[in-house]
Structure 1
Amino acid sequence: MNKKISFGKISANFSQNSEKVEATGTFGTFGPPKAIQSLEDDAESQQLKNVMGISAFGKKAKSFDIKEMIAQVKATAREITKKPEESVETAEESNEESDDEDFVGPPVPDHLLPSNVEKPNSNEKKVESDASDEEAEETVDNNLFIPCTHETQMIHGTKAVTALCLDPSGARLASGSVDYDVSFWDFAGMDSSMRSFRTLQPADNHPIRGLHYSSTGDLLLVISGATQAKVIDRDGFEKLETVKGDMYITDQAKTKGHTAGLLAGTWNPITKEEFLTTSADGTVRTWDFYEGGKQHKQIIKCRAQNGLKVSPNAVNYNREGKVIACGCADGSIQLWDFRKSSVAPAKQIRKAHSPAEITSICFSHIGDNLLTRSCDGTMKLWDIRNFKQSINEVGDLYTRYDTTDAIFSPNDEVVATALSLEKGQKNGVVLFYETKSFNLIRKMQITNSHTIKIAWHPKLNQIFVGTGNGLIKCYYDERRSLRGATLCVVKHHRKAQQSEVVSSQQIITPHALPLFRQERRKTSRKQIEKDRLDPVKSKRPDLPITSGQGGRVASSGGTLSSYVIRNLGLSKRVEDDQDPREAILKYAKEAEENPYWITPAYKNTQPKPTYAENDDDEPEEKKSRTE
């Protein structure tokens, strides 16, 4: 049977008709030659074309073999596995060849063609270039990323926050101020109200100049205006206090501790038990925690160019904990290496800044860069391998606090510094610069006061800023910041639940017996007054006792002197308004019957006692002198 099947119905006689297949001018058919086709099939196809309104599909179809089709499919599969460039060239050649020849059916839609075979036009090239530009911008943004999409604030007090530090894990924040207080903030335990869980005054009436967590996060070094540094634990309990030096000894190396107020300090990043402190006496002293702070471990004497002592206002360890960098009050930078000598600095720059206090000195996380900030309004970047001239410098940075910060970002691509308000300015800002060129990236508005301290934690990826009005601003990014303040802002503050008082219903029984009758209270005020007199309901505390029974001490005390006064003096006390003669004579009868003291003594000389007689005659008044 050689009947033609059209529109997807394929004949089963592939063996007889596989050599040559001829298609009609409509959609193409598989079957015997045109001469053998029946009129019914032509009528059926014509009727279908009339119903669909189709006259013809494309150009005239050409003859093709199934073997050629299979070979073409294999070639297409090979092209797909080729590289994109080779496939594009092959597609161009095939398109040029196919343009010259006729094709069967309508053209294939563009969105159905394989993407690796398409020929890219000018518009596609433009889209690809735009995508590459966006990727480059994202790369730049990732390097210079600053988490500042969201912000929250914590209230330390009303005065300037001059010390700020986070522990290495990022779980707690410690803040200090000129109001002598140190506050502890626990991010896991806070809610959206952002309240500190503990506030204390570790240095009595001395302002807090610096707070530094140890490398393990279990100890906190407190640098105050006093001469003695303190080390406290995470909960605020004192663990160590350094000894005070003798201020009358001229040679500072002969004293065991500082003799003037502290200026700065920090922990060794490698040796967890070692920390150092600087003082206005011109020395830097290192201490060992396990020695109890009884004597310094090593001492450095900072000298100015004229040979006199100079105060190291800022100090820091390098990342290996082997080099100490000191920023002095005369604007000089001195690097000390204990492995070489503690008498003279390993490197120094006398005129690194103008003769003004260096407020901050910081090593980069990776590399040999050193960042300094000074009260002369400049911030400079140095390379300690070529320590003669600064790499980059920026000026016009006003500051009035000698603890103003300048820090590196966690990836060392950005540096940030705080700025104080000048006359006429209203908003304090933090400036962010690119490390390589010192180009200003962002100027972040903080609050209507000075900005002093900055902390950028690498694990949290959050920025904390201490201001002059007692606020601590926290900036973070919702997608790239972890834990820290993000844990607190989502917790709603729960108000204290008021005690619910359930009034008991009173059953009124007017004809009850007096034993079971309950008093009916008219007003709640009378009931409250009645409960006030009841010691059980009012929860009255124990009254003061007048005796010492039951192991409790009486109000007069429990010492020997109080016992003597109570038992001897007060028990036989003589009233002041009583006549002493009457007080003696009331024992006359008892003394006469049982003589013990006086009578036996006068028994021989005066057997009968003789008393002075009472003379009622008063002495004559003194006559006034008459002239």
Structure 2
Amino acid sequence: MTDPDVGAIMGFSGFGKKARTFDLEAIFEQTRRTAIERSRKVLEEERSVERPYEPTSCAGRSGSPSRKGHTGDSTRSPGDSESGCDDTDNESEKSGPTLPSQMCRLDVEGESPVGPPLPLGYGKQQCETDEEDDEEEEDDEDENPLKRIPDSHEITLTHGKKTVSALGLDPSGARLVSGGYDYEVKLWDFAGMDASLQAFRSLQPCECHQIKSLQYSSTGDVILCVAGSAQAKVLDRDGFQVMECVKGDQYIVDQAKTKGHTAMLNSGVWHPKIKEEFVTCSNDGTVRTWDMNTEKKHKSIFKPRSVQGKRVIPTTCVYSRDGKLIAAACQDGSIQIWDRNLNVHTKFHNRQAHVPGSDTSCLSFSYDGNTLASRGGDDTIKSWDMRNFRNPLNVASGLPNIFPMTDCCFSPDDKLLVTGTSVKRGQENGKLVFFHRETFQKLYEIEVTDASVIRCLWHPKLNQIMVGTGNGLAKVYYHPVKSQRGAKLCVVKTKRKAKQSQTVTQEYVITPHALPMFREPRQKSTRKQLEKDRLDPVKSHKPEPPVSGPGRGGRVGTHGGTLSSFIVKNIALDKTDDSNPREAILRHAKEAEQNPYWVAPAYVKTQPHAVFATPEAEEEVEDDEPEWKKRKL
């Protein structure tokens, strides 16, 4: 059947109208011409009244001007002349009102605003002024890097009462993790905290081992926890264990034959590019790399050696910024650097980097990867050029260091070097010292607290400085304008009110259309209603009193409720009768003999005559017996 036949049977003439088709190119072309005509009319009207500015190009352009010099090719209308456009080019840059900043941005960036296109040069003077101001501010900051230090405001996070020995920030800067000598690891969420600054989770992942290092991975989904044990652990963002490294056999001499560390760990960091790989160093004299997917064995092993070829203990280790090098500082004062893929010989080494026997506490690569900073246990900080590793570039001394994990780090612009100083508690104030990277000139210092400054982090995204101290505090320094998010999110939140004790109250239900007999009376005072509800045993869930008497409803009665307990309590355990039990029985003998009731009537005819020994007869028998037969009383 054809379509008309089906339509006739079903009662309609067709299956609907054909969809309309649009020629988009023709519509766009018509819109462009309309915009050109409107722009031409507007400019002609302005020219006829007065000329506040001269256009730099033809009025009939369809697009916006090019960014370079504003003299690029543009679409011209047929009625415009070439000379008219060129003559007004210089005048337009000097004349005309200034535009708002958003209009300047559109003019400079080459974007077309909503409405008719603006002539070239309109608002250029204002844009140039703003750009000059921005350039002047940048020049001032370049000349004086101290203006980049965010130290105008601070917040204090209370970790505990002992030393904060580890700090870590995730790449986005949303969470902070802190660890200390009290074996605790605390997680802080800047977006979830209020002004009370309380950690949202506290745990002890390594039991009774001091926390040495904490670091988020490059993706921020897991945390590397290095403690005083021989096994490093990987935790997720909520603190739950994901992986634990295997422990090696401590009775095997060759450390390459063991699957893991056999002594206390000193440090550990994540690979900057590969999110599953991390490196640890230990007192067993090895530096090992690990893969999260294979926790039963290390990935590769590096053995630092002294000048005599003997084993030395690495105190800290770190990856380079590109992840191709692994650097370790040792107890003999040396710094040894290996290629990540070649673990036999070192690529760079310096045997006399620091004083032998002093534990170098930190190694840090600059953001450009050309400079390595080392914080020594000999109260110095040094910078090294990776292209010439024989001699240090600069040395700064007089910086006390008594902790094996004192940090040093570079500023986000790579122009400053920051480290902390150690002091005896209560005598001086620990300081955060800033040095110029090139000249090692001491530019600035911050007195943090009356204890040592151990850990310091300068987050590049937040532009905030996190500091861990020896008295259990973690401080965050920030600037309200130069810093982003982080501590700024929690200081503006008011403290949450403490939840009131839960009281049982009956909610008042408003029923406007209910009958008077079903309408609930409204309570005028909440306090009175609470007092009434407190006295009501049903609303206050008053516990049932103990059962008195025999039990009922499946409940056991109290002592004395049953017959047996009554007999035990009142008869068997009655201690009021102190008489002789024989005398108590013989009191009833005369009555039983005269009026027998139970036993005697049944044996009246057969009962023999009872003969009992009297006390006098017993005495006579005892006298006749010899002494050795007498019973001892």
TM superposition score category, shorter chain reference = 0.5 to 0.7
CA deviation digits over 1:53-95, x for unaligned, max 9? Answer: xxxxxxxxxxxxxxxxxxxxxxxx99974999xxxxxxxxxxx
**1:349 match:** 350
Structure 2 residue 463 is the aligned partner of structure 1 residue 470: no
Aligned length: 410
Q: In structure 2, what is the Cα distance between the partners aligned to 1:476 and 1:83?
A: 42
Deviation at 1:368, TM superposition (A): 1.1
Contact 1:399–1:419 (CA under 8 A) maintained in structure 2: yes
SS in 2 for 1:139: helix
Pair 1:504–1:79, CA change in 2 (3 A): closer
**2:337 match:** 335
**1:489 match:** 491
Contact 1:415–1:432 (CA under 8 A) maintained in structure 2: yes
- Return 5+ residue gaps in structure 1 as ranges: 1-76, 85-129, 506-522, 544-619, 622-627
**1:71 match:** none
CA deviation digits over 1:98-151, x for unaligned, max 9? Answer: xxxxxxxxxxxxxxxxxxxxxxxxxxxxxxxx9999874343235861011111
Structure 2 residue 434 is the aligned partner of structure 1 residue 440: no
Q: In structure 2, what is the Cα distance between the partners aligned to 1:501 and 1:250?
A: 67
Equivalent residues in 2 for 1:12-411, closer than 5 Å: 81=91, 136-141=139-144, 145-291=148-294, 293-340=295-342, 342-355=343-356, 356-411=358-413
**2:73 match:** none
Pair 1:82–1:439, CA change in 2 (3 A): same
Deviation at 1:336, TM superposition (A): 0.6
Determine which structure has more spread, i.e. the larger CA radius of gyration. 1
For normalisation by structure 1, the TM-score amounts to 0.60
Contact 2:334–2:354 (CA under 8 A) maintained in structure 1: yes
Q: In structure 2, what is the Cα distance between the partners aligned to 1:141 and 1:134?
A: 10
SS in 2 for 1:401: coil
Contact 2:288–2:301 (CA under 8 A) maintained in structure 1: yes
User: For residue 371 of structure 1, what is the amino acid of its counterpart?
Assistant: A
Contact 2:163–2:470 (CA under 8 A) maintained in structure 1: yes
**2:14 match:** none
User: For residue 140 of structure 1, what is the amino acid of its counterpart?
Assistant: E
Deviation at 1:540, TM superposition (A): 8.2
Q: In structure 2, what is the Cα distance between the partners aligned to 1:133 and 1:524?
A: 69
Contact 2:425–2:450 (CA under 8 A) maintained in structure 1: no
SS in 2 for 1:183: strand
Q: In structure 2, what is the Cα distance between the partners aligned to 1:149 and 1:247?
A: 51
Q: In structure 2, what is the Cα distance between the partners aligned to 1:417 and 1:160?
A: 17
Please tell me the root mean square deviation across aligned C-alpha atoms, in Å: 3.6
- Return 5+ residue gaps in structure 2 as ranges: 1-86, 95-132, 508-527, 548-627
Q: In structure 2, what is the Cα distance between the partners aligned to 1:169 and 1:539?
A: 53
SS in 2 for 1:421: coil
User: For residue 348 of structure 1, what is the amino acid of its counterpart?
Assistant: H
Deviation at 1:427, TM superposition (A): 1.2
Deviation at 1:329, TM superposition (A): 1.3
Structure 2 residue 541 is the aligned partner of structure 1 residue 537: yes
Deviation at 1:231, TM superposition (A): 0.5
Q: In structure 1, what is the Cα distance between the partners aligned to 2:544 and 2:209?
A: 42
Deviation at 1:423, TM superposition (A): 8.0
Contact 1:144–1:434 (CA under 8 A) maintained in structure 2: no
Pair 1:536–1:143, CA change in 2 (3 A): closer
SS in 2 for 1:264: strand
Contact 2:424–2:452 (CA under 8 A) maintained in structure 1: no
Deviation at 1:297, TM superposition (A): 0.9
Pair 1:187–1:540, CA change in 2 (3 A): farther
Contact 1:144–1:413 (CA under 8 A) maintained in structure 2: no
Q: In structure 2, what is the Cα distance between the partners aligned to 1:358 and 1:202?
A: 26
Q: In structure 2, what is the Cα distance between the partners aligned to 1:502 and 1:250?
A: 69
Contact 2:505–2:533 (CA under 8 A) maintained in structure 1: no
Contact 2:505–2:530 (CA under 8 A) maintained in structure 1: no
Contact 1:184–1:198 (CA under 8 A) maintained in structure 2: yes
Instruction: Give structure 1 regions of 4+ aligned residues with deviation exceeding 6 angstroms.
Output: 77-80, 130-135, 502-505, 523-532
User: For residue 417 of structure 2, what is the amino acid of its counterpart?
Assistant: V
Deviation at 1:265, TM superposition (A): 0.6
User: For residue 373 of structure 1, what is the amino acid of its counterpart?
Assistant: R
